[in-house]
Amino acid sequence: MAIDDIPRLGCGRSIDRIWATIDRPPTAHEEKCGQCQTARTQLRGLSEATRSLRESDLHNPALKPRPGVKNAIMDVARAEVRQGSRILLRSADTGITEISEQALSSLIRSAAAAIPGVHPRRCRIEIRAAAASLAGEDHPAGTTVMATDAGPRLIVNLRVAAAPGIVIPLAAEALRHEISSAIPAGVGIGAGTVNIIVEDLYDV
Amino acid sequence: MDDHGPGLEPDLDEGSIVARAQDGDLAAFEHLVLTYQSRLFRLAYRMLNDRGDAEDIVQETLTTSWRALPMLADVDAFGGWIYRLATNKSLDLLRKRSAHAEDIIDSDDMDTMPGARACAVSARWDPAHEAEWSAEQNGLTALLSTLPPAQRACWLLREMHGRSYAEIGVTLKISPTAVRGTLARARHQIAEGMSQWR
């Protein structure tokens, strides 16, 4: 099946070539060739109609889905939202407090958004039991620690896109500081380890 | 605290928005739905000539995308991926329709082009909002409806949506060279038809 074949006029010119050059003056051949002239006229008409249809469809208020469509999509998304694992924040006789990984990721991204030139992306949170953390690494110096020793030890892995030209070590430190403050302030446990992965540079 | 953040920063790049949606961020996903739903609707409507079917394609495509998002390896590939889903769902629906319809166009045979006849326009044509259109646009959309489905998809993806040859090739499972040939035949067919109209 010759699906790669491009239609040609009787004179041998390909439609593709004529299409690519319809905005230019005709070549010496095209000036003399009736088939080429006809094809040029037809394709110019098509080019204009195509542009016109594209613009018209783009701005035609009737060519949009009804609002119910978006609502139905978002209803499904909400019903099937991936909340990740739950992290225990506090356990007492009066009850426990937990937060979903998804909600804590949102809090972390909100905090990270305060740093200019960085777009927070995916966030993975690993949890180590409190006992392991006591024997493990130190808490970052200068962070506010609230009930950390009683809570879980978090390892935050935040992926980000950075603006080109940004000084990554400085931005990463600023991010770490912002996140390390926001987690205790927001949910009352220590931030633990905050790993920053710059996975992309975004266009400004 | 808002579970899904206070909304998105205004200058956020699409890759970051996709990454957040992969993490289950509903505000990010809603932004993607708002960005793509009208584009996908225009594609599906021009493929299918039916508002209800086009809305179904948009809804199915974006719902599927929510479920499959965590598996998307490259966040920058979201646009191409979502267009591919919508195109293939539209082609599937046309295949189902043609199994029931009398005027069957073989969707797999891109070489066989039926004559460009205005009378071949789908019976589902919606005159309400088409009425105000210029005769030229009506002619073009009528001729478009006579193209074989894969050829029509190829033309729409390139000419109406500006998708790349490589991406269209992946969508239609043909080489970029074959995309070029298919497009050339579609343009030739439509241009010939338009000249007969005049």
Q: Does residue B148 lie in a domain region?
A: no
Domain-located, residue B31:
yes
User: With 90 as the cut, is the pLDDT of residue A89 above it?
Assistant: no
Please, which pLDDT band fits residue A145 given cuts at 50, 70 and 90?
Answer: very low
Contacts A–B by Cβ distance under 8 A: 178
Q: Tell me if chain B has a CB within 8 Å of the CB of A194.
A: no
Lowest mean pLDDT among A63-67, A147-151, A162-166, B90-94: A147-151
Whether residue B185 and residue A202 make contact (CB cut-off 8 A), yes or no, is no
Q: Which two tokens stand for residue A193?
A: 């380890």
pLDDT in tens, B26-69: 999 999 999 999 999 999 999 999 999 999 999 999 999 999 99
> Is B112 among the domain residues?
no
The confidence band for A8, taking pLDDT boundaries of 50, 70 and 90, is confident
Is residue A135 pLDDT above 70, yes or no? no
Q: Is residue B96 part of a domain?
A: yes
Please report which confidence band the pLDDT of residue A164 belongs to, taking 50, 70 and 90 as the band edges.
very high
pLDDT at A4: 52
A19 touches chain B (CB under 8 A): yes
| Mean pLDDT for all residues in chain A | 86
pLDDT digits (tens, 9 = 90+) for A95-122: 999 999 989 999 999 999 999 999 999 9
- Answer yes or no: is B126 within a domain: no
Q: Chunked in runs of 10, what are the mean pLDDT values of chain B (198 residues)?
A: 53 93 93 97 97 98 96 95 98 90 47 38 48 71 94 97 96 94 93 79
Looking at the structure of chain B, the number of domains it has is 1
Domains and CATH numbers, chain A: 3-82 (no CATH), 86-201 (3.30.70.1350)
Beta strands A86-92 and A95-100, pairing class: antiparallel
How are the residues of chain B apportioned to helix, strand and coil, as percentages rounded to the nearest 5?
Answer: 70, 0, 30
Q: Which residues of B touch A73 (CB under 8 A)?
A: 33, 37, 58-59, 62-63, 66
Q: Which residues contact B57 (CB under 8 A, 6 or more apart)?
A: B40, B41, B44, B48, B86, B89, B90, B93
Task: Find the domain containing B68 and state its range.
Answer: 8-103
Closest residue to A78, CB basis, from B26, B42, B192: B26
CATH label of the domain that carries residue B93: 1.10.1740.10
Closest of B152, B117, B141 to residue A57, by C-alpha:
B141
Q: Is residue B15 part of a domain?
A: yes
